[in-house]
A and B are shown apart, each in its own frame.
Chain A
Amino acid sequence: MKNEFQEPDDGKLRTILRESRPTPPLPPRFQQAVWRRIEREEAESPAGSWLARVDQLADWLLRPHWALAGITALLVAGVLAGAVSGIGAVKQAAQERYLAAVAPNQVR
């Protein structure tokens, strides 16, 4: 039945119809807005939100400037903690040596 109405001029008719109802141009950054909306809706579901956060964190960690800053901070913290602990150990050993010399266990 449908084929009965399909005339060879169907394409022409469709063009005329399209021209009679012109489609308005898409608003600026339409695609970005659509993606943002999709992401937002994904993020709003609990599992989506958690996974999105993990992804975000992973992305954030892999950014070169954050990775470099993190490595630097870890190195600085490690060096400081190591220095404090090393100096503490040296002081402790030196204190024991001094005490053993001036106040042996017998007299304490």
Chain B
Amino acid sequence: MRRSSFIIVAVALASVAIFLGAYRLTGRLCVTHFQKPADDLAWLRLEFRLSDAAIARIRQLHEGYLPKCRSYCEHIAAKQRELRELVGGGTNVSAAVEQKLGEIASLRAQCQAEMMRHFAEVSRTMPPEQGRRYLAEMQRLTLGFHEQIEKSMSHESAAGHGHD
């Protein structure tokens, strides 16, 4: 191999090393600099570039909302335990099981409504554009989750089960 070829290979390797070195180092620095593990609201600050005053207002709403959310979650978890006990090892869906499923769905719907109210409230404390973006993003992340599952299920059923 000629000297020139060695030079080109060495330069290419050095280039990859320089790029990857800079990439990894900067990535790590960003993570250590920007990550605030103790703050739930860090994402809002990062994503929506909110001022300290806006974050303080949102923090108040957030702290007011958390106990409600926790309480709903505890209720849902309790109902799910009851449901598991009812289902047991049985193979039939009894009326009691159906009723429990209805209760869980109702609790979940109440919780989701509370959640949507909270999102709307938070969005109103933000500047209008950020508020709209926040609301859309939260709806996508929370309600969209079910939509995706339902869509995938309906595709599967159309292909596999022949549901209309």
Asked if A104 CB lies within 8 Å of chain B CBs, one says: yes
B65 and A86 contact, CB distance less than 8 A: no
Within 8 A of B (CB), among A78-92: 78-79, 81-83, 85-87, 89-91
Contacts of A93 in B (CB 8 A): 35
Q: Give B19's nearest chain A residue, CB to CB.
A: A78
Q: Give B76's nearest chain A residue, CB to CB.
A: A106
The answer to whether A57 and B8 touch (CB under 8 A), given A89-B27, A91-B47, is yes
Asked if A94 CB lies within 8 Å of chain B CBs, one says: yes
State the CA gap A106–B65 with chains docked (Å): 16
B42 and A54 contact, CB distance less than 8 A: no
Question: Distance in Å from the Cβ of A67 to the closest Cβ of chain B?
Answer: 8
Asked if B40 CB lies within 8 Å of chain A CBs, one says: yes
Contact for B26 among A61, A86, A98, CB less than 8 A: A86
8 contacts between A and B (CB under 8 A): A77-B22, A78-B20, A82-B27, A82-B29, A86-B29, A86-B30, A93-B35, A101-B40
